[in-house]
Structure 1
Amino acid sequence: MNSAAETYILPGGGASITALPKISLHDHLDGGLRPQTIIDLAEEIGFELPTTDATELAAWFESQSNSGSLVEYLKTFDVTIAVMQTRGGLFRVAREFVHDLAADGVIYGEVRWAPEQHLTDGLSLDEVVEAVQEGLEQGVVDAAESGHTIRVGQLVSAMRHADRGLEIAQLAVRQRDNGVVGFDIAGAEAGFPASKLADAFDYLAQNFLPVTVHAGEADSLDSIKSALFDGRALRIGHGVRIAEDISTTSEDDEGVYVELGRVAEWIKDRQIALELSPSSNLQTNAWGTELADHPFDVLYQLGFRVTVNVDNRLMSNTSLSKELFLLAEEFGYTLDDLAQFQLNAAAASFLSLDDRDDLIEQILTGFEQA
């Protein structure tokens, strides 16, 4: 494998966060390309880039993504998607994606992407899914040869504005025995609630395929309600605006007392996982511009099933280890806290119960040895 991850050490603890076993639930394939790979693939197809220097290109992506707007943030994907239209391009990106997860200590990753955005070179929906799966599987083999054990699954996403929800849901079910573990909807939230894809979600429910829904990132609490009611979501992609449904009732020397609204109470009591992505949330102004203002810690302390995610490693110049390091640095988390985040993610993964139990055992063993 030709990949390397920066090593992050737990503040004050000495343990290597990078070496710890981790679960990645919210990680976009088209948001995790290596800059040099973009340059190589762009040259092959004659696509013009802002720069052909890998370091400068990485900086360009991060700068463009720091707009404070999800709509502007999403425009950077015009570049990555452009170089992911051929079977070879999809294979390479997927293979390297696994290399980079393994180098970051990830033992299970769910890779989400939207097949409908990768058809301009003449491939069919099934062919692009198969190309990505071949790349993911080769990446797993490569990782094993380098001493890393990792599993991956595809989360097939429908673009919520494109009116192809049912078609993509049918694709996901058709490919469920070829690496697809679940379904998602992505893209601009405002004006495109889950209810607009009701037929897709009905079909998925009838076929028992798990669903996560982007909600509560760039739209209000109503988007989370729609994800739960219309989408039958088992997890919420981001969901940071669930904090709007939590109100402070009083405060004294012993602490702050809060009251949960109906939606927040439902998510907490039923342990519906929140796929929080702190750095990305700050970039898109989903909730504030400083990590100290992010509701991650409040949700964790209140008992929500919080998980830590990267969203888009390229755009946020991040990794799962870096996100955990930043949270530990800001909120004083210990090794036990980081373990809990991974256990939350393992329990929320779209694997069988036995496979989830295996992940939990790997996490407990890895953290005990740290």
Structure 2
Amino acid sequence: MPRYSTDFIRAMPKADLHLHLDGSLRLDTLLAMAKTLKVPLPADTVEGLQAQVFKPAYQNLGEYLRGFQYTCAVLRDANHLTQAAYELAQDNLAEGVNYIEVRFAPQLLMDLSRGLDFDTVMRAVNAGLQQAEQAYNNSAAVLEQGKPPFRYGIINCAMRMFAAKGFSPYYDQLFQLMRDFEPMQVIKLAAMELVRASVRLRDDEGLPIVGLDLAGQESGYPASKFKEVYEFAHQHFLLKTVHAGEAYGAESVFEAIAECHADRIGHGYSLFLPERIQDPAIVDPVAYSQRLASFMADKRIAIEVCLTSNLQTNPAIADIRQHPFGEMLKNRMATVICTDNRLVSNTTLSDEYKLALDHFDIPFKRLKDMVAYGFKKNFFPGNYVEKRQYAKQCLQYFDRVAQQYGFID
């Protein structure tokens, strides 16, 4: 098994396609923002927050998600959104990540009492990313050293579910206004409003909103309930990813593809865990998983793999080698290494690549394929010709770095 040094991993161009803004703040920034907005936190130091909230390991998914109540609270401010987006881009650029797709649920961050409507939230996030893009692309690293320029896209997350009270100011008000509707009707209405607003801002203002995602609790909230929402995205050329197979069986992954036109799958962790399949109509879960994997591999439907996050939300895994990523590799699936949440999982994209490369048999050619998927399966904010040119530029730079580290003669 080839050994890939940390320096090589950091130097090679990379793309992160599954990156949550509200799960990737800097801790010192979170503390400063909380002080400005008078948001109470469980601790007032970086070390305290790491001990109480953002831990190295979590007991379950609920504990993993606990920190989002604090990050979302401090991000309900336009200046904070711009700062967080800018710093996230800077943190990625510092480790050789030159393409990112930042995702978040705008409706979790909206607060009309502070003037934070959907458009304001989106413009504020884009402003921070755009500022980082312009600064880096005019730097010596790009102009003189020939590194690939920095590019980004924004993926908006619809929520599968939200509570009737306390989820966010937007959802609180929506439930209050529509108190005679069934909860699922309200949830779907919010998702449809999100996708319509996303298409409008993309088309009217040119914001690089490149995709739609569906996040939140899978069990009880299948992707098929949002078929109309995804159909609207599909008809308006908005690309689609779905959190699927993260905490539910392989049938959730198939549903995302068949019902929601998913171009990529977020996590897909349960794809090779037939024991998680719950649909009684599936009489041979093992065969079902294998056929689905073969179908996805043939269609090149990429999986956004988040190793550390999966380990933290599935504490029963004793060894990283038990992660279904190994089966994904054996089945020649298109896999893209991603972080999920840089803060909550205490990770970087370089850390995630090193975790994969240190524990799975990934020859150099396969590594290049994985890197290439990050640039070829992304939702690039431009036309297909531009996307191909950018991917070619990034992979040519990958070859330069590989040559410097002795992988290519």
TM-score higher than 0.5 here? yes
Distance in 2 (CA, whole Å) between partners of 1:123 and 1:140 is 24
The count of aligned residue pairs is 349
Map of 1:157 onto structure 2: 157
Alignment of 1:77-92 (within 5 A): 77-92=68-83
Q: Deviations over 1:217-252 (max 9, x none)?
A: 011112112211221101000011111359xxxxxx
Q: Is the 8 A contact 2:53 2:66 kept in 1?
A: no
The structure 2 residue matched to 1:360, chosen from 382, 391, 407, is 391
**Structure (1 or 2) with the larger CA radius of gyration:** 2
Deviation at 1:199, TM superposition (A): 2.0
Q: Is the 8 A contact 1:283 1:289 kept in 2?
A: no
C-alpha change, 1:325 and 1:236, in structure 2 (3 Å) is same
C-alpha change, 1:54 and 1:67, in structure 2 (3 Å) is closer
Deviates more, 1:258-267 or 1:130-139: 258-267
Secondary structure, aligned partner of 2:99: strand
2:136 is matched by which residue type in structure 1? A
Alignment of 1:1-370 (within 5 A): 11=3, 16-63=8-55, 66-120=57-111, 121-146=114-139, 147=141, 149-162=149-162, 163=187, 164-176=190-202, 177-244=206-273, 261-285=290-314, 288-351=317-380, 352-370=383-401
TM superposition outliers: structure 1 runs of 4+ over 6 Å: none
Between structures 1 and 2, the one with greater helix share: 2
Distance in 2 (CA, whole Å) between partners of 1:264 and 1:53 is 45
Q: Is the 8 A contact 1:241 1:286 kept in 2?
A: no
C-alpha change, 1:191 and 1:72, in structure 2 (3 Å) is farther
Q: Mind listing any 5+ residue stretches in structure 2 that lack a counterpart?
A: 143-148, 163-186, 276-286, 402-409
2:117 is matched by which residue type in structure 1? S
Q: Is the 8 A contact 2:136 2:150 kept in 1?
A: yes
2:193 is matched by which residue type in structure 1? E
Q: Is the 8 A contact 1:99 1:142 kept in 2?
A: no
Map of 1:7 onto structure 2: none
Secondary structure, aligned partner of 2:303: strand
Q: Deviations over 1:76-107 (max 9, x none)?
A: 10011010001111010011111011112111
Distance in 1 (CA, whole Å) between partners of 2:248 and 2:288 is 22
Q: Is the 8 A contact 1:95 1:139 kept in 2?
A: yes
C-alpha change, 1:151 and 1:60, in structure 2 (3 Å) is farther
| TM-score scaled by length of structure 1 | 0.88
Q: Deviations over 1:125-154 (max 9, x none)?
A: 111011111111012123235535310110
Give aligned-pair identity as a percent.
34
Q: Deviations over 1:293-339 (max 9, x none)?
A: 01212211221001100000101111111111111111243443322
1:266 is matched by which residue type in structure 2? F
Q: Is the 8 A contact 2:272 2:290 kept in 1?
A: no
Q: Mind listing any 5+ residue stretches in structure 1 that lack a counterpart?
A: 1-9, 247-257
Deviation at 1:188, TM superposition (A): 1.3
Q: CA RMSD in A?
A: 2.1
Distance in 2 (CA, whole Å) between partners of 1:180 and 1:150 is 16
2:152 is matched by which residue type in structure 1? V
C-alpha change, 1:353 and 1:67, in structure 2 (3 Å) is same
| TM-score scaled by length of structure 2 | 0.80
1:339 is matched by which residue type in structure 2? K
Deviation at 1:202, TM superposition (A): 1.7
Between structures 1 and 2, the one with greater strand share: 1
1:369 is matched by which residue type in structure 2? R
